[in-house]
Amino acid sequence: MLLPMSDTPVKQQSTAAFYGQAVASFAVALAATAIGIFNLQADAWVRAFLAVAVLYLVTSAFTLSKVVRDRQEAGQIVSRVEQARLEKLLAEHDPFEKL
């Protein structure tokens, strides 16, 4: 089903409650991991290694999230351009024109 350009879908936005829950969940998970590493009965270098590994994991997760979002948005833009081309072609086509 083709939508006219005036009926473009509205960008979905998450609610403030969902955003707050996501931030709180991230903070609790990071704090619990930090407390666990701090209270670990191991040498300081082992705790430092685990802390750096957790920070690397967090930054990698943020980067992966951004890459996935960017790829999805790029696909939507390409899809909209192709849809506009098809709409233009269909608008210019006259089925009753002699061949």
pLDDT of residue 99: 63
What pLDDT score was predicted for residue 53? 97
User: Do 37 and 47 meet the contact criterion of CB atoms below 8 Å apart?
Assistant: yes
The DSSP annotation for 8-44 comes to PPPPP---HHHHHHHHHHHHHHHHHHHHHHHT-SS-H
Mean of pLDDT values over 64-75: 88
Residue ranges per domain, the chain? Answer: 16-92
* pTM to 2 decimal places: 0.60
Task: List, for residues 74-94, the tens digit of each pLDDT value.
Answer: 877 777 778 888 888 888 877
- What single DSSP character describes residue 96? T
